[in-house]
A = this chain, B = another copy of it.
């Protein structure tokens, strides 16, 4: 069942009962301090629900995992939360005991300023790894943002800005749909750019089927006024992320901080959803839409990205094979540079398929191109043989800023999708940084 979704404004403050704000508190310690936030990109934000909300979360499966991820994953298990404090500029990763102390203090300090128990305050961070949090700046920022929050209906755009790192633009969405006759809303913001190939699980533990591989951290915060049990919410989020954030790659590096959180405060007063509710499918479809749109925004705004390619593998023997084949193509340096050049090079694609863990038979492979979402495919390869499509035709198919790459292994019925990006000189230039100017050095 496909939900009838209406796009609306407001992102995370579109659902009833959510407020949000963002400030600049100089977390990167660029030298400007409190009160001097005019014109500087915000770097700290609060998202608050008027009432306690059901909560669900997914977290990086990287074994090296940041302090805020550890704090968050534990509190999400309670099933209830009411606020999120988040910063950019410092990942609070590989910061040992001090990092854990700092992450917890961020929630304590925020909780005190918004009059809640610390246990219902979640925390997320993104930025440089291995640097202790500048807690004075954080305290100033939390104080300021808590004040802002009290005075105004909601600053979702400031929050979307505050979580950005190498992102060139904020990423946000909100939709409205009906559940049990009530209008409900889901809003979301996210950030990404580099160190992007998330493989998240509810506990951060690594199932065998998750990708090995991500880096800049992806963060995503979703709010909804839907009334839903936290277990049903966790199930829905897990399914949504499996088909969105866990299917994207910018550079194949998995971050220490990847986090997706959803707060559902129930203020829409729909009949409360449980895992077996008939209307779960409607909610799931809406959540899938929100996460997929946000995930694709991350790929489009990936570091140095010029072209976005949806890799669609079909006909694999198993789901694991389909996934391995899609990831091998999506992360191949040679395939990605050919995308950058607009070169419809099928040799590199079939090469990547051949070294993937998937079973591949050369004489069966089809490779083709289409416009995004279209089934009108121009094939370069059919059953392992070059087609009669001309080089010019294939170049035209690989020229748009976004296109779909169709791969059929013709061995079975399993399929997988990866939302991928090209590899450009701009990516290299950005990430090599300049050691004479440490401010240019990435996470």
Contact = CB atoms under 8 A, between A and B. Distances in A.
A406 interface: no
A195 B334 contact: yes
Interface string A243-261: 0000000011111100000
Contacts of A423: 333, 428
A385 interface: yes
Contacts of A353: 63-64
> In which size bucket is the chain A interface?
35 or more
Q: Which residue among A128, A342, A351, A431 has the maximum number of chain B CB atoms within 10 Å of its CB?
A: A351
Interface in A306-351: 328, 332-334, 337-338, 340-343, 345-348, 350-351
Contacts of A253: 332-334, 348, 351-352, 355
A213 interface: yes
Interface string A342-380: 110111101111111101111100000000000000000
A424 to B, nearest CB: 6
B333 A63 contact: no
A428 B340 contact: yes
A361 B431 CA distance: 26
Query: Which 5 A-B pairs have CB atoms at the shortest separation, nearest pair first?
Result: A129-B347, A64-B354, A341-B432, A337-B431, A254-B355
16 contacts: A63-B354, A63-B359, A64-B351, A129-B347, A129-B348, A129-B351, A212-B328, A212-B357, A213-B355, A251-B333, A253-B332, A341-B434, A343-B432, A343-B441, A425-B425, A428-B428
Interface of A: 61-65, 91, 93-94, 96, 128-130, 194-195, 199, 212-215, 251-256, 328, 332-334, 337-338, 340-343, 345-348, 350-357, 359-363, 381, 384-386, 391, 395, 423-425, 427-429, 431-435, 438, 441-443
